[in-house]
Amino acid sequence: MPVRDRLPAGRTHVPSAGGSRPPGGPSDRHHEILDAALELFATVGYGGTTMAQIGDRLGIRGPSLYKHIASKQELLVEIVTGMMTELLRRQQAALARGGDVSERLQRITAVHVQYHAEQRYEAFVGHREIDSLEEPHRTHILDLRREYESRFRELVQEGRELDVFRTASDRWSSYAILDMGIGVSAWYNPSGSVSPEQLADTYAELALRMLGAERDSANTREG
Amino acid sequence: MPVRDRLPAGRTHVPSAGGSRPPGGPSDRHHEILDAALELFATVGYGGTTMAQIGDRLGIRGPSLYKHIASKQELLVEIVTGMMTELLRRQQAALARGGDVSERLQRITAVHVQYHAEQRYEAFVGHREIDSLEEPHRTHILDLRREYESRFRELVQEGRELDVFRTASDRWSSYAILDMGIGVSAWYNPSGSVSPEQLADTYAELALRMLGAERDSANTREG
DNA sequence: AGGTATGGCTAATACTCATTAGCCATACAG
DNA sequence: CTGTATGGCTAATGAGTATTAGCCATACCT
């Protein structure tokens, strides 16, 4: 039973300073919401996050979010799609630079690991919450992921056929590389002293060793 | 508004054949529930699993489960505790067999991977649903996990100090090994033609290579 | 035969949440 | 000034779901 009847209610519309905003793109508010959602999804999970919590981060109520977004699910779709798209983009850029098989594998591994450190929240959510996606988004993301993974497998295969890599199974080796990189998003601490680049280089070297394509530069001590 | 009023209601108590059961241990029914819950937690998640679904697997209704278990949370605690305990047990057994640093590392890696393939549901749930545990269970499990992980790190360190391993960071290398094994629980398919043992051996070899302790037996083709 | 424990069932309880409805103050355009 | 769009708010709504209450048939023990 409501106690107060229709008192002038709390904070109302107080638009931010820069009045005119380009009409097309996602507003500032949209981005703020996405950021808040990302951090919450990563730390307490999609199911564990409530709209009220997201609102809290911006100092507004849960229902007010719907003035800017369509649904909670939309937020997840944007996050996960953005993550997979960016990952594929970076991977393609890494491959486009050419080089021999070892170099290319070294590079896509480094890119993989660097992303999982740098954008650890996106990466973590992108892997963990795939099953929270409703169809057809889930299937779409899984397709992109398969494509991403297959690049690793193909490269391992190419290297093995050229006798550059020695590996018992292209598939297992590529999964191992992928999974060790994914793991980074679960433990990497950005306030530590180690940069995503350092970590990426070290992991890439580990990957090459795993594939029996050992080089010699992998012996610096931890920073 | 209920349509039927008090008709003799469906299936009632039909105890299974072997009447007398030892009074102490968890009943058959308890185990069946645990198994059903495990599969569901692994495939649709703890939050995504309803008591009604678990009941369905045994042909009974959701509320009837409470004649055998205390709560949904209890099921998760049993699963995750069992998983971590078993993992530690096997790790200790592997270490107890002694041998040089490479042998011991090879063995705890193989054990790690084999478990994650063999008991992939337990393993998957044990990692993914830790945050679904209520305190103090969550903290307890995290403590056990830290202990488990530290065994890897200590062994890597020992090997490095003996110049048996060459690695840029004990911590990163051990995380890489752990994470690639954990990943197995997400993709391993028990109906495929590859045994957990084969996979474990291959992965253990990958780990040794990563650590720069290459041996020579790692070159069999995929089965 | 009678009594009791067991393990089903349905219905109710008590929450938690995403989302919608409807209200209103402010800012800004004309 | 005045009108309108914006972006807050509170209060429903409605669905989902763990858990409890209370009922009852069966099986088994004496």
CATH code: domain of residue B54: 1.10.10.60
Show Cβ contacts of residue A204 under 8 Å, excluding neighbours closer than 6 positions: A106, A107, A109, A110, A113
| pLDDT range class, residue A10, cuts 50, 70, 90 | low
- Residue A26's pLDDT band, with cuts at 50, 70 and 90, is low
Q: Name the residue among B66, B207, B89 with its Cα closest to residue B148.
A: B89
Domain-located, residue B109: yes
> Is B82 found in the same domain as B62?
no
B197 pLDDT exceeds 50? yes
At A178 the three-state DSSP class reads helix
Q: Is A105:A173 a contact under the CB 8 Å cutoff?
A: no
Q: Indicate whether A161 belongs to any domain.
A: yes
Looking across all nucleic acid strands, the nucleotide with the smallest C1' to CA distance from residue B67 is C7
Task: Please give the average per-residue pLDDT across A63-83, as a whole number.
Answer: 97
Mean per-residue pLDDT, B179-206: 97
Same-domain pairing of A128 and A190:
yes
Chain B residues closer than 8 Å to A183 by CB: 175-176, 178-180, 182-183
pLDDT at B26: 56
Which of A44, A69, A94 delimits the end of a domain?
Answer: A69
- If asked whether residues B50 and B159 sit together in one domain, one would say no
Assess whether B173 and B206 both reside in one domain.
Answer: yes
Q: B12 lies in a domain?
A: no
ipTM over 0.90: no
Assign A4 a pLDDT band (cuts: 50, 70, 90): very low
- pLDDT of residue B218 exceeding 70, the answer is no
Yes or no: say if A94 and A107 are a contact pair by the CB < 8 Å rule: yes
In a domain, B180, yes or no: yes
Those nucleotides of strand D lying less than 7 Å from any protein Cβ are 5-12, 16-29
Question: Contacts of residue B182 in chain A, CB cutoff 8 Å?
Answer: 179, 183
Report the CATH number at residue A177: 1.10.357.10
Using CB atoms within 10 A of its CB, is residue A158 exposed (0-12), middle (13-18) or buried (19+)?
middle
What pLDDT score was predicted for residue B40? 98
Residue B13: CB less than 7 A from any atom in strand D: yes
Question: Are both B100 and B147 inside the same structural domain?
Answer: yes
Say if residue B56 is in the same domain as residue B77.
no
Shared-domain flag, residues A44 and A104:
no
Shared domain check, B118 and B50: no
Could you read off the pLDDT of B40-99 as tens digits, one per residue? Answer: 999 999 999 999 999 999 999 999 999 999 999 999 999 999 999 999 999 999 999 999
Query: Is the distance from CB of B132 to CB of B47 less than 8 angstroms?
Result: yes
At B150-182, the pLDDT tens digits run: 999 999 999 999 999 999 999 999 999 999 999
Are residues B63 and B89 both part of a single domain?
no
Please state the domain count of chain B.
2
